[in-house]
């Protein structure tokens, strides 16, 4: 019984982890959050793709120089 009381989170207070208390979201809020997460993921992947393209371009230029010799 004592272990169960310790495992229960205290309501109304921030836990020691610094996380915000859980708040139930409406279906609209859930979808809007998903849209934002996907938008951020797409932006991150676009940046990674740009970096990969720049690297590929440099390597192709180096290949041309090597083939010219």
What is 30-69 written as a DSSP string? HHHHHHHHHHHHHHHHHHHHHHHHHHHHHHHHHHHHHHH-
d(C-alpha 45, C-alpha 51), whole Å? 10
Average pLDDT rounded to a whole number, residues 38-64: 98
Q: Is the pLDDT of residue 60 over 90?
A: yes
In the chain, where are the structural domains located?
A: 25-69
First CA to last CA distance, the chain: 80
d(C-alpha 52, C-alpha 46), whole Å? 10
Q: C-alpha 35: how far from its chain's center? A: 13
Is the pTM higher than 0.95? The answer reads: no
């Amino acid at each position: 019984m004592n272990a169960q009381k310790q495992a229960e989170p205290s309501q109304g207070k921030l836990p020691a982890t610094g996380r915000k208390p859980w708040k139930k979201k409406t279906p609209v809020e859930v979808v809007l959050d998903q849209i934002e997460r996907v938008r951020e993921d797409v932006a991150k992947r676009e940046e990674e793709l740009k970096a990969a393209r720049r690297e590929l371009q440099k390597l192709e230029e180096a290949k041309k120089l090597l083939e010219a010799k």
